[in-house]
Amino acid sequence: MRLFVASVVGLFAVAFAPASAGAAQRWASPTSAQTSGACLAVDPCTLFTALDGATTGDEVVLESGRYVMAAPLTARARVTLRGAGPARPVIVGYELSEDDAVLTFRTGGTLRHLEIQAARGQQDALELQGGVAEDLVLTAAGGNGARIFTSGGGTVVRDVLARSAVQNDSDRAALRLKQSGGPGEITLHNVTALAPGANGIRCEVNNGTVTIVNTLARGAKDIKAAASSHCTASFSNFRTALSPNLVAGTGNQHGDPLLDADGHPLVGSPTIDAGTTDSSLGTTDLAGCPRTLGGAPDIGAYEYTPGACAEPPVEEAPPVGEAPPAAPVPPVTAITTTSAPAPDTVAELPPGVPAPTQGSSMVVSPQGTVRVRQPGTNRFVELEAGAQIPLGSEIDATKGRVTLVTAVAGGLQDGTFWGGRFAVRQDAKGEGMTSLVLKGGSFKGCPKTERASAAASSKKKKPVRKLWSKDKNGRFRTHGHNSVATARGTNWLTEDTCAGTRTRVLEGAVAVRNLKTTRTTLVKAGQSFLVRRR
Protein backbone atom coordinates (compact mmCIF):
# COMPACT_ATOMS: atom_id res chain seq x y z
CA MET A 1 0.00 0.00 0.00
CA ARG A 2 1.38 3.42 -0.96
CA LEU A 3 1.02 6.08 1.70
CA PHE A 4 0.27 9.72 0.84
CA VAL A 5 2.25 11.42 3.60
CA ALA A 6 4.25 14.62 3.27
CA SER A 7 5.19 17.72 5.17
CA VAL A 8 3.90 21.08 4.04
CA VAL A 9 7.46 22.14 3.33
CA GLY A 10 7.93 19.14 1.08
CA LEU A 11 4.83 19.72 -1.00
CA PHE A 12 5.22 23.42 -1.60
CA ALA A 13 8.96 24.08 -1.55
CA VAL A 14 9.21 23.42 -5.28
CA ALA A 15 6.74 26.04 -6.41
CA PHE A 16 6.89 28.62 -3.66
CA ALA A 17 10.40 28.76 -2.19
CA PRO A 18 11.19 32.33 -1.11
CA ALA A 19 13.96 34.56 -2.32
CA SER A 20 17.08 34.88 -0.21
CA ALA A 21 17.25 37.66 2.37
CA GLY A 22 17.98 41.08 0.91
CA ALA A 23 17.34 40.01 -2.67
CA ALA A 24 14.89 41.76 -4.95
CA GLN A 25 11.86 39.92 -6.28
CA ARG A 26 10.98 40.76 -9.88
CA TRP A 27 7.67 39.62 -11.39
CA ALA A 28 6.77 38.83 -14.99
CA SER A 29 3.35 38.45 -16.59
CA PRO A 30 2.51 37.05 -20.04
CA THR A 31 0.11 39.95 -20.61
CA SER A 32 2.44 42.74 -19.47
CA ALA A 33 3.92 45.30 -21.86
CA GLN A 34 6.04 46.92 -19.12
CA THR A 35 9.70 47.20 -20.22
CA SER A 36 11.15 49.17 -17.31
CA GLY A 37 10.77 49.66 -13.58
CA ALA A 38 11.04 47.44 -10.52
CA CYS A 39 8.75 44.68 -11.89
CA LEU A 40 6.67 44.45 -8.71
CA ALA A 41 4.01 41.83 -8.13
CA VAL A 42 1.38 44.54 -8.53
CA ASP A 43 3.04 45.91 -11.67
CA PRO A 44 4.84 43.03 -13.43
CA CYS A 45 7.09 43.40 -16.47
CA THR A 46 7.62 41.37 -19.60
CA LEU A 47 9.67 38.24 -18.97
CA PHE A 48 12.61 39.59 -20.96
CA THR A 49 12.67 42.78 -18.87
CA ALA A 50 12.26 41.01 -15.53
CA LEU A 51 15.13 38.60 -16.21
CA ASP A 52 17.43 40.99 -18.06
CA GLY A 53 17.32 43.48 -15.17
CA ALA A 54 17.89 40.92 -12.41
CA THR A 55 21.16 41.00 -10.47
CA THR A 56 22.91 38.38 -8.37
CA GLY A 57 20.64 36.97 -5.67
CA ASP A 58 17.41 38.26 -7.20
CA GLU A 59 14.35 36.10 -7.71
CA VAL A 60 12.39 36.35 -10.96
CA VAL A 61 8.83 35.05 -10.57
CA LEU A 62 6.61 34.20 -13.54
CA GLU A 63 2.84 34.39 -13.31
CA SER A 64 1.08 31.42 -14.89
CA GLY A 65 0.47 31.68 -18.61
CA ARG A 66 2.19 31.37 -21.97
CA TYR A 67 5.26 33.51 -22.77
CA VAL A 68 6.07 33.57 -26.50
CA MET A 69 9.60 34.91 -26.94
CA ALA A 70 10.72 36.93 -29.96
CA ALA A 71 14.40 36.50 -29.06
CA PRO A 72 16.54 34.16 -26.96
CA LEU A 73 16.26 34.57 -23.21
CA THR A 74 19.47 34.72 -21.16
CA ALA A 75 20.18 34.97 -17.44
CA ARG A 76 23.04 37.44 -16.89
CA ALA A 77 23.52 36.86 -13.15
CA ARG A 78 23.13 34.11 -10.57
CA VAL A 79 19.39 34.31 -9.90
CA THR A 80 16.36 32.18 -9.14
CA LEU A 81 13.90 31.89 -12.01
CA ARG A 82 10.66 30.15 -11.04
CA GLY A 83 7.01 29.85 -11.84
CA ALA A 84 4.27 30.90 -9.42
CA GLY A 85 0.95 29.20 -8.94
CA PRO A 86 -0.10 25.60 -9.48
CA ALA A 87 0.25 25.67 -13.27
CA ARG A 88 3.76 25.89 -14.71
CA PRO A 89 4.31 28.99 -16.82
CA VAL A 90 5.16 28.00 -20.40
CA ILE A 91 8.07 29.69 -22.22
CA VAL A 92 7.89 29.23 -26.00
CA GLY A 93 10.94 29.99 -28.12
CA TYR A 94 11.27 31.45 -31.58
CA GLU A 95 14.18 30.15 -33.65
CA LEU A 96 16.75 32.74 -34.65
CA SER A 97 19.62 30.32 -35.16
CA GLU A 98 20.55 26.78 -34.24
CA ASP A 99 22.95 28.03 -31.57
CA ASP A 100 20.39 29.91 -29.50
CA ALA A 101 18.42 28.00 -26.87
CA VAL A 102 15.03 29.28 -25.77
CA LEU A 103 16.60 29.90 -22.34
CA THR A 104 20.31 30.10 -21.55
CA PHE A 105 20.94 29.69 -17.82
CA ARG A 106 24.71 29.32 -17.33
CA THR A 107 25.28 31.55 -14.30
CA GLY A 108 24.33 29.05 -11.59
CA GLY A 109 21.32 29.83 -9.46
CA THR A 110 18.03 27.96 -9.44
CA LEU A 111 15.55 27.15 -12.19
CA ARG A 112 12.21 25.80 -10.99
CA HIS A 113 8.57 25.03 -11.87
CA LEU A 114 8.59 25.93 -15.59
CA GLU A 115 7.80 24.41 -18.97
CA ILE A 116 10.08 25.37 -21.86
CA GLN A 117 9.18 24.59 -25.47
CA ALA A 118 11.52 24.81 -28.46
CA ALA A 119 8.80 24.60 -31.07
CA ARG A 120 10.66 25.46 -34.26
CA GLY A 121 13.60 24.16 -36.26
CA GLN A 122 16.62 22.77 -34.44
CA GLN A 123 16.46 25.02 -31.41
CA ASP A 124 17.18 23.60 -27.94
CA ALA A 125 14.77 24.28 -25.10
CA LEU A 126 17.40 24.93 -22.42
CA GLU A 127 21.13 25.52 -22.06
CA LEU A 128 22.21 25.02 -18.44
CA GLN A 129 25.41 25.20 -16.40
CA GLY A 130 25.75 25.20 -12.61
CA GLY A 131 23.16 25.46 -9.87
CA VAL A 132 19.94 23.48 -9.60
CA ALA A 133 17.23 22.89 -12.20
CA GLU A 134 14.11 21.13 -10.90
CA ASP A 135 10.41 20.66 -11.59
CA LEU A 136 10.79 21.32 -15.32
CA VAL A 137 9.14 20.07 -18.49
CA LEU A 138 11.42 20.50 -21.52
CA THR A 139 10.35 19.78 -25.10
CA ALA A 140 12.11 20.29 -28.42
CA ALA A 141 10.71 19.76 -31.91
CA GLY A 142 14.03 19.34 -33.70
CA GLY A 143 16.77 20.06 -31.16
CA ASN A 144 17.87 18.95 -27.72
CA GLY A 145 15.49 19.12 -24.80
CA ALA A 146 18.48 20.56 -22.93
CA ARG A 147 22.22 20.94 -23.27
CA ILE A 148 23.69 20.61 -19.79
CA PHE A 149 27.29 21.59 -19.06
CA THR A 150 29.61 20.52 -16.28
CA SER A 151 30.40 22.99 -13.52
CA GLY A 152 33.10 23.04 -10.86
CA GLY A 153 30.40 23.56 -8.25
CA GLY A 154 28.18 20.94 -9.87
CA THR A 155 25.11 21.09 -12.08
CA VAL A 156 22.10 19.34 -10.53
CA VAL A 157 19.04 18.36 -12.57
CA ARG A 158 16.16 16.65 -10.78
CA ASP A 159 12.45 15.96 -11.18
CA VAL A 160 12.54 16.82 -14.88
CA LEU A 161 10.74 15.46 -17.95
CA ALA A 162 12.74 16.09 -21.13
CA ARG A 163 11.61 15.19 -24.65
CA SER A 164 12.95 15.62 -28.16
CA ALA A 165 10.86 14.82 -31.23
CA VAL A 166 13.81 14.96 -33.65
CA GLN A 167 14.00 11.94 -35.96
CA ASN A 168 16.96 9.93 -37.29
CA ASP A 169 19.51 12.03 -35.42
CA SER A 170 22.43 10.33 -33.69
CA ASP A 171 23.74 13.57 -32.15
CA ARG A 172 20.80 15.23 -30.46
CA ALA A 173 19.08 14.03 -27.31
CA ALA A 174 16.38 14.74 -24.79
CA LEU A 175 19.31 15.60 -22.49
CA ARG A 176 22.77 16.24 -23.93
CA LEU A 177 25.51 16.35 -21.29
CA LYS A 178 28.63 18.27 -22.30
CA GLN A 179 32.05 19.27 -21.05
CA SER A 180 32.83 22.89 -20.20
CA GLY A 181 36.45 23.77 -19.51
CA GLY A 182 38.16 21.94 -16.65
CA PRO A 183 36.86 19.16 -14.41
CA GLY A 184 33.27 19.47 -13.33
CA GLU A 185 30.18 17.50 -12.38
CA ILE A 186 26.65 16.85 -13.56
CA THR A 187 24.11 14.97 -11.44
CA LEU A 188 20.74 13.72 -12.66
CA HIS A 189 18.11 12.62 -10.13
CA ASN A 190 14.63 11.38 -11.04
CA VAL A 191 14.73 12.45 -14.67
CA THR A 192 12.65 11.01 -17.51
CA ALA A 193 14.42 11.53 -20.87
CA LEU A 194 12.52 10.46 -24.01
CA ALA A 195 13.64 10.82 -27.65
CA PRO A 196 12.36 7.98 -29.86
CA GLY A 197 14.28 9.20 -32.94
CA ALA A 198 17.50 10.26 -31.19
CA ASN A 199 19.22 9.70 -27.82
CA GLY A 200 17.42 9.70 -24.51
CA ILE A 201 20.64 10.93 -22.86
CA ARG A 202 23.92 11.64 -24.61
CA CYS A 203 27.00 11.89 -22.37
CA GLU A 204 30.05 13.71 -23.79
CA VAL A 205 31.89 14.48 -20.54
CA ASN A 206 35.50 13.26 -20.55
CA ASN A 207 37.11 15.53 -17.95
CA GLY A 208 34.66 15.31 -15.09
CA THR A 209 31.93 13.04 -13.76
CA VAL A 210 28.29 12.42 -14.59
CA THR A 211 26.16 10.65 -11.99
CA ILE A 212 22.75 9.38 -13.07
CA VAL A 213 20.37 8.18 -10.34
CA ASN A 214 16.69 7.15 -10.39
CA THR A 215 16.52 8.11 -14.06
CA LEU A 216 14.58 6.64 -16.98
CA ALA A 217 15.89 6.99 -20.53
CA ARG A 218 14.42 5.79 -23.83
CA GLY A 219 15.48 6.58 -27.39
CA ALA A 220 17.07 5.13 -30.49
CA LYS A 221 19.93 4.98 -27.98
CA ASP A 222 18.88 5.16 -24.35
CA ILE A 223 22.08 6.53 -22.78
CA LYS A 224 24.79 7.06 -25.38
CA ALA A 225 28.15 7.72 -23.72
CA ALA A 226 31.32 8.68 -25.56
CA ALA A 227 34.13 6.14 -25.35
CA SER A 228 36.24 8.39 -23.12
CA SER A 229 33.40 9.71 -20.98
CA HIS A 230 32.85 9.18 -17.26
CA CYS A 231 29.12 8.52 -17.06
CA THR A 232 27.67 6.22 -14.37
CA ALA A 233 24.04 5.19 -13.91
CA SER A 234 22.55 3.57 -10.80
CA PHE A 235 18.98 2.64 -9.84
CA SER A 236 17.91 3.67 -13.33
CA ASN A 237 15.92 2.17 -16.21
CA PHE A 238 17.66 1.84 -19.59
CA ARG A 239 18.43 -0.91 -22.12
CA THR A 240 22.00 -2.14 -21.86
CA ALA A 241 22.31 -2.94 -25.57
CA LEU A 242 21.26 0.62 -26.43
CA SER A 243 23.54 2.31 -23.88
CA PRO A 244 27.11 2.02 -25.20
CA ASN A 245 30.09 2.91 -22.98
CA LEU A 246 27.88 3.60 -19.98
CA VAL A 247 29.28 2.55 -16.60
CA ALA A 248 26.50 0.60 -14.87
CA GLY A 249 26.27 0.89 -11.11
CA THR A 250 23.90 -1.04 -8.85
CA GLY A 251 20.12 -1.24 -8.84
CA ASN A 252 19.55 -0.76 -12.56
CA GLN A 253 16.69 -2.33 -14.54
CA HIS A 254 16.24 -2.85 -18.25
CA GLY A 255 12.62 -3.90 -18.88
CA ASP A 256 9.71 -1.94 -20.32
CA PRO A 257 9.02 0.92 -17.86
CA LEU A 258 5.28 0.90 -18.70
CA LEU A 259 4.57 4.62 -19.07
CA ASP A 260 1.52 6.51 -20.26
CA ALA A 261 1.75 9.10 -23.03
CA ASP A 262 2.71 11.83 -20.54
CA GLY A 263 5.52 9.84 -18.92
CA HIS A 264 3.65 8.69 -15.80
CA PRO A 265 4.23 5.11 -14.63
CA LEU A 266 1.27 2.77 -15.07
CA VAL A 267 0.06 0.07 -12.70
CA GLY A 268 2.66 -2.70 -12.66
CA SER A 269 5.55 -0.52 -13.82
CA PRO A 270 8.89 -1.93 -12.60
CA THR A 271 9.99 1.64 -11.84
CA ILE A 272 7.64 1.88 -8.84
CA ASP A 273 9.57 1.97 -5.53
CA ALA A 274 12.73 0.93 -7.43
CA GLY A 275 14.82 4.04 -6.82
CA THR A 276 17.19 4.90 -4.02
CA THR A 277 17.07 7.60 -1.37
CA ASP A 278 19.79 10.15 -0.72
CA SER A 279 20.12 13.74 0.41
CA SER A 280 20.15 15.09 -3.16
CA LEU A 281 16.59 14.05 -3.98
CA GLY A 282 13.95 16.66 -4.57
CA THR A 283 11.07 16.90 -2.11
CA THR A 284 8.30 16.42 -4.68
CA ASP A 285 7.86 14.79 -8.05
CA LEU A 286 6.94 16.60 -11.24
CA ALA A 287 3.24 16.52 -10.34
CA GLY A 288 3.82 18.01 -6.88
CA CYS A 289 3.33 14.71 -5.07
CA PRO A 290 5.78 13.68 -2.33
CA ARG A 291 8.91 12.24 -3.89
CA THR A 292 8.60 9.01 -1.92
CA LEU A 293 5.09 7.55 -1.70
CA GLY A 294 6.04 3.95 -0.96
CA GLY A 295 9.03 2.13 0.47
CA ALA A 296 11.42 3.97 -1.87
CA PRO A 297 11.27 6.67 -4.55
CA ASP A 298 10.21 5.63 -8.04
CA ILE A 299 12.52 5.79 -11.04
CA GLY A 300 11.75 8.74 -13.30
CA ALA A 301 10.22 12.20 -12.97
CA TYR A 302 6.85 11.00 -11.66
CA GLU A 303 5.82 8.91 -8.67
CA TYR A 304 3.09 6.37 -9.31
CA THR A 305 -0.16 7.55 -7.70
CA PRO A 306 -3.45 5.65 -7.99
CA GLY A 307 -5.29 8.92 -7.32
CA ALA A 308 -4.66 12.55 -6.47
CA CYS A 309 -2.11 13.28 -3.75
CA ALA A 310 -3.66 13.69 -0.33
CA GLU A 311 -3.78 17.20 1.10
CA PRO A 312 -0.92 17.72 3.59
CA PRO A 313 -1.62 18.16 7.28
CA VAL A 314 -1.89 21.76 8.45
CA GLU A 315 -1.58 23.56 11.74
CA GLU A 316 -4.57 25.22 13.37
CA ALA A 317 -4.44 28.98 13.78
CA PRO A 318 -4.61 30.29 17.34
CA PRO A 319 -7.35 32.85 18.09
CA VAL A 320 -6.22 36.45 17.67
CA GLY A 321 -7.37 39.57 19.37
CA GLU A 322 -8.79 41.31 16.34
CA ALA A 323 -12.24 40.02 15.40
CA PRO A 324 -13.50 39.90 11.83
CA PRO A 325 -16.09 42.41 10.65
CA ALA A 326 -19.43 41.99 12.35
CA ALA A 327 -21.60 39.51 10.47
CA PRO A 328 -23.89 36.62 11.33
CA VAL A 329 -21.80 33.48 11.59
CA PRO A 330 -23.72 30.22 11.15
CA PRO A 331 -22.68 27.05 12.99
CA VAL A 332 -19.46 25.64 11.60
CA THR A 333 -19.11 21.97 10.78
CA ALA A 334 -16.06 20.44 12.41
CA ILE A 335 -13.19 20.29 9.94
CA THR A 336 -10.20 18.02 10.41
CA THR A 337 -6.70 19.22 9.68
CA THR A 338 -5.99 16.44 7.20
CA SER A 339 -8.86 16.51 4.72
CA ALA A 340 -11.21 18.97 3.08
CA PRO A 341 -14.96 18.52 2.53
CA ALA A 342 -16.07 16.80 -0.66
CA PRO A 343 -16.32 19.39 -3.43
CA ASP A 344 -19.67 20.65 -4.62
CA THR A 345 -19.69 19.85 -8.35
CA VAL A 346 -23.08 21.36 -9.21
CA ALA A 347 -23.47 24.96 -10.39
CA GLU A 348 -26.05 26.90 -12.39
CA LEU A 349 -25.19 28.62 -15.66
CA PRO A 350 -26.86 31.77 -17.04
CA PRO A 351 -29.43 31.02 -19.75
CA GLY A 352 -27.84 30.43 -23.14
CA VAL A 353 -24.24 30.54 -21.87
CA PRO A 354 -22.14 27.43 -22.68
CA ALA A 355 -20.39 25.54 -19.91
CA PRO A 356 -16.76 26.44 -19.13
CA THR A 357 -13.78 24.28 -20.10
CA GLN A 358 -11.14 23.47 -17.48
CA GLY A 359 -7.95 25.43 -18.05
CA SER A 360 -9.48 27.47 -20.88
CA SER A 361 -12.65 29.36 -19.95
CA MET A 362 -14.98 30.37 -17.13
CA VAL A 363 -18.52 31.71 -16.85
CA VAL A 364 -19.13 35.01 -15.05
CA SER A 365 -22.40 36.55 -13.82
CA PRO A 366 -22.28 40.17 -12.56
CA GLN A 367 -24.23 42.00 -9.87
CA GLY A 368 -23.70 45.74 -9.78
CA THR A 369 -20.77 47.19 -11.71
CA VAL A 370 -18.27 44.51 -12.76
CA ARG A 371 -15.56 45.14 -15.36
CA VAL A 372 -13.42 42.60 -17.23
CA ARG A 373 -10.08 42.86 -19.03
CA GLN A 374 -9.40 39.83 -21.19
CA PRO A 375 -5.87 38.52 -21.91
CA GLY A 376 -4.08 40.51 -24.61
CA THR A 377 -6.22 43.64 -24.14
CA ASN A 378 -5.40 46.90 -22.33
CA ARG A 379 -8.81 48.13 -21.23
CA PHE A 380 -11.58 47.01 -18.92
CA VAL A 381 -15.07 46.51 -20.37
CA GLU A 382 -18.19 46.54 -18.21
CA LEU A 383 -19.91 43.17 -18.02
CA GLU A 384 -23.60 43.63 -18.76
CA ALA A 385 -24.80 40.02 -18.37
CA GLY A 386 -23.61 36.48 -17.81
CA ALA A 387 -20.96 35.38 -20.30
CA GLN A 388 -18.18 32.90 -20.96
CA ILE A 389 -14.72 34.52 -20.91
CA PRO A 390 -11.16 33.12 -21.11
CA LEU A 391 -9.20 32.18 -18.04
CA GLY A 392 -6.41 34.64 -17.38
CA SER A 393 -8.88 37.53 -17.52
CA GLU A 394 -8.70 40.22 -14.85
CA ILE A 395 -11.97 41.09 -13.10
CA ASP A 396 -12.69 44.39 -11.31
CA ALA A 397 -15.44 43.75 -8.74
CA THR A 398 -14.64 46.70 -6.45
CA LYS A 399 -18.14 48.12 -7.07
CA GLY A 400 -20.08 44.91 -7.56
CA ARG A 401 -20.16 41.15 -7.14
CA VAL A 402 -19.34 38.43 -9.62
CA THR A 403 -20.20 34.74 -9.53
CA LEU A 404 -17.64 32.53 -11.25
CA VAL A 405 -18.37 29.07 -12.60
CA THR A 406 -15.38 26.91 -13.51
CA ALA A 407 -15.05 23.30 -14.59
CA VAL A 408 -13.71 20.75 -12.12
CA ALA A 409 -13.24 16.99 -12.18
CA GLY A 410 -16.76 15.62 -12.10
CA GLY A 411 -18.75 18.75 -12.93
CA LEU A 412 -18.85 22.49 -12.23
CA GLN A 413 -18.18 24.71 -9.21
CA ASP A 414 -19.17 28.26 -8.39
CA GLY A 415 -18.07 30.99 -6.02
CA THR A 416 -18.96 34.64 -5.46
CA PHE A 417 -16.32 37.36 -5.16
CA TRP A 418 -16.49 41.10 -4.46
CA GLY A 419 -14.68 44.16 -3.16
CA GLY A 420 -11.51 43.90 -5.23
CA ARG A 421 -9.63 43.21 -8.47
CA PHE A 422 -8.26 39.80 -9.32
CA ALA A 423 -7.02 37.59 -12.15
CA VAL A 424 -8.33 34.04 -12.54
CA ARG A 425 -6.05 31.08 -13.27
CA GLN A 426 -6.72 27.35 -13.62
CA ASP A 427 -4.61 24.43 -14.83
CA ALA A 428 -6.00 22.33 -17.68
CA LYS A 429 -5.06 19.17 -15.79
CA GLY A 430 -5.77 18.01 -12.27
CA GLU A 431 -8.82 18.46 -10.09
CA GLY A 432 -9.73 21.97 -11.25
CA MET A 433 -8.34 24.18 -8.47
CA THR A 434 -9.11 27.79 -9.44
CA SER A 435 -6.72 30.54 -8.32
CA LEU A 436 -7.72 34.17 -7.81
CA VAL A 437 -4.67 36.46 -7.77
CA LEU A 438 -5.21 39.86 -6.13
CA LYS A 439 -4.43 42.77 -8.45
CA GLY A 440 -4.31 46.55 -8.25
CA GLY A 441 -3.18 48.77 -5.41
CA SER A 442 0.34 49.97 -4.78
CA PHE A 443 2.95 49.06 -2.17
CA LYS A 444 5.07 52.12 -2.98
CA GLY A 445 3.87 53.97 0.12
CA CYS A 446 4.66 51.08 2.47
CA PRO A 447 7.57 51.39 4.93
CA LYS A 448 10.66 49.49 3.87
CA THR A 449 11.41 47.89 7.24
CA GLU A 450 9.46 45.21 9.07
CA ARG A 451 9.37 47.34 12.25
CA ALA A 452 7.87 50.26 10.37
CA SER A 453 5.37 47.90 8.75
CA ALA A 454 4.29 46.66 12.16
CA ALA A 455 3.78 50.26 13.27
CA ALA A 456 1.72 50.93 10.16
CA SER A 457 -0.39 47.89 10.94
CA SER A 458 -1.08 49.11 14.47
CA LYS A 459 -2.50 52.36 13.05
CA LYS A 460 -5.13 50.39 11.08
CA LYS A 461 -4.20 51.96 7.77
CA LYS A 462 -6.31 51.17 4.74
CA PRO A 463 -5.47 47.89 2.97
CA VAL A 464 -3.51 48.12 -0.26
CA ARG A 465 -6.02 45.73 -1.84
CA LYS A 466 -8.55 43.14 -0.77
CA LEU A 467 -11.05 40.56 -1.98
CA TRP A 468 -14.09 39.00 -0.35
CA SER A 469 -14.87 35.40 -1.32
CA LYS A 470 -17.65 32.92 -0.67
CA ASP A 471 -18.09 29.38 -1.93
CA LYS A 472 -19.53 26.01 -0.94
CA ASN A 473 -16.84 23.33 -0.79
CA GLY A 474 -15.36 24.44 -4.09
CA ARG A 475 -11.76 24.32 -5.21
CA PHE A 476 -10.89 28.00 -4.94
CA ARG A 477 -7.81 29.73 -3.54
CA THR A 478 -6.89 33.41 -3.22
CA HIS A 479 -3.32 34.62 -3.77
CA GLY A 480 -2.19 37.62 -1.74
CA HIS A 481 1.30 39.11 -1.76
CA ASN A 482 2.54 37.01 1.17
CA SER A 483 0.17 34.05 1.46
CA VAL A 484 -2.23 31.77 -0.39
CA ALA A 485 -5.61 30.89 1.14
CA THR A 486 -7.30 27.65 0.06
CA ALA A 487 -11.02 27.49 0.84
CA ARG A 488 -12.76 24.60 2.55
CA GLY A 489 -16.37 25.69 2.09
CA THR A 490 -16.34 29.17 3.52
CA ASN A 491 -16.74 32.95 3.50
CA TRP A 492 -13.42 34.75 3.83
CA LEU A 493 -11.55 38.01 3.23
CA THR A 494 -8.02 38.33 1.83
CA GLU A 495 -6.31 41.68 2.51
CA ASP A 496 -2.88 42.84 1.37
CA THR A 497 -1.58 45.56 3.71
CA CYS A 498 1.79 47.16 4.35
CA ALA A 499 2.22 44.78 7.28
CA GLY A 500 1.45 41.62 5.30
CA THR A 501 -1.44 39.52 4.02
CA ARG A 502 -4.33 38.98 6.41
CA THR A 503 -6.98 36.28 6.04
CA ARG A 504 -10.26 36.69 7.97
CA VAL A 505 -12.73 33.80 8.06
CA LEU A 506 -16.45 34.29 8.69
CA GLU A 507 -17.65 30.78 7.84
CA GLY A 508 -16.02 27.40 7.45
CA ALA A 509 -12.22 27.25 7.38
CA VAL A 510 -9.32 28.32 5.17
CA ALA A 511 -5.86 26.75 4.86
CA VAL A 512 -3.37 29.65 4.67
CA ARG A 513 0.10 28.96 3.28
CA ASN A 514 2.93 31.35 4.14
CA LEU A 515 4.87 31.90 0.89
CA LYS A 516 8.07 32.61 2.81
CA THR A 517 8.15 29.71 5.28
CA THR A 518 5.82 27.39 3.24
CA ARG A 519 4.03 26.57 6.52
CA THR A 520 0.26 26.06 6.24
CA THR A 521 -2.12 27.15 9.01
CA LEU A 522 -5.80 26.27 9.34
CA VAL A 523 -7.87 29.40 10.06
CA LYS A 524 -11.43 28.75 11.27
CA ALA A 525 -14.58 30.87 11.52
CA GLY A 526 -14.11 33.86 13.82
CA GLN A 527 -10.33 33.87 13.39
CA SER A 528 -7.97 36.23 11.60
CA PHE A 529 -4.42 35.36 10.56
CA LEU A 530 -1.64 37.68 9.38
CA VAL A 531 1.33 36.52 7.32
CA ARG A 532 3.87 39.32 7.63
CA ARG A 533 5.46 40.89 4.57
CA ARG A 534 8.37 39.15 2.90
pLDDT digits (tens, 9 = 90+) for 436-450: 999 988 777 787 655
The answer to whether 175 and 161 are in contact (CB under 8 A) is no
375, with CB counted inside 10 A (0-12, 13-18, 19+), is middle
For residues 263 and 174, is the Cβ–Cβ distance under 8 A?
no
Q: Count other C-beta atoms under 10 Å from residue 482's C-beta.
A: 23
Check whether residue 219 and residue 343 sit in a common domain: no
Helices (H), 326-473: 450-458
Burial of residue 52 (number of CB atoms within 10 Å: 0-12, 13-18, 19+): middle
In a domain, 27, yes or no: no
User: Residues 307-326: pLDDT tens digits?
Assistant: 655 444 444 444 433 333 33
338 and 470 share one domain: yes
Q: Kindly state whether residues 322 and 462 are assigned to the same domain.
A: yes
Based on the fold, state whether residues 339 and 478 are members of the same structural domain. yes
Whole-angstrom distance, CA of residue 227 vs CA of residue 204:
9
Which of 199, 222, 248 is the endpoint of a domain? 248
The Cα-based distances of 493 to 160, 325, 366 in angstroms read 37, 10, 19
In angstroms, the CA 250 to CA 212 distance is 11
Domain count, the chain: 2
CATH of the domain at 227: 2.160.20
186 and 325 part of one domain: no
| 60 lies in some domain | no
Domain membership of residue 120 as a residue range: 8-15+89-248
Q: Report yes or no on 213 lying in a domain.
A: yes
| 492 & 373 share domain | yes
* φ, ψ (nearest 5 deg) of residue 13: -65, -35
Look up residue 151 and give its amino acid. S
Shared-domain flag, residues 331 and 212: no
Cβ pair 258, 231 in contact under 8 A: no
pLDDT score recorded for residue 313: 41
The answer for residues whose C-beta is within 8 angstroms of residue 148's C-beta and 6 or more apart is: 128, 129, 155, 157, 175, 176, 177, 178, 186
Total-model pTM: 0.59
Query: Which residue, 248, 274, 302, sits at the end of a domain?
Result: 248
Same domain, 486 and 403: yes
* Same domain membership, residue 335 and residue 243: no
Could you read off the pLDDT tens digit of each residue along the chain, which spans 534 residues? 243 333 333 333 333 344 444 578 999 999 999 999 999 988 899 999 999 999 999 999 999 899 998 888 999 999 999 998 778 999 998 755 556 799 999 999 999 999 999 987 789 999 999 999 999 999 999 999 999 999 999 999 999 999 999 999 999 999 999 998 888 999 999 999 999 999 999 999 988 999 999 999 999 999 999 998 889 999 999 999 999 999 999 999 999 999 998 899 999 999 999 999 987 888 889 988 888 877 899 999 999 987 655 444 444 444 433 333 333 333 323 233 334 444 455 678 888 899 999 989 999 999 989 999 998 888 899 988 889 999 999 999 999 999 999 998 778 889 999 999 999 999 888 888 899 999 988 777 787 655 444 444 444 456 789 999 998 767 889 998 888 888 866 789 999 988 889 999 888 888 898 888 888 888 888 888 999 876
Give domain status of residue 299, yes or no. Answer: no
Q: Does any domain span residue 224?
A: yes
Which residue, of 248, 266, 299, is where some domain finishes? 248
Please tell me whether residues 224 and 335 are part of one structural domain.
no
What's the confidence (pLDDT) of residue 95? 57
Report yes or no on 334 lying in a domain.
yes
Please indicate, yes or no, if residue 426 is contained in any of the structural domains: yes
351 and 494 belong to one structural domain:
yes
Instruction: Answer whether residue 24 is part of any domain.
Output: no
Instruction: Say yes or no: 338 and 225 in one domain.
Output: no
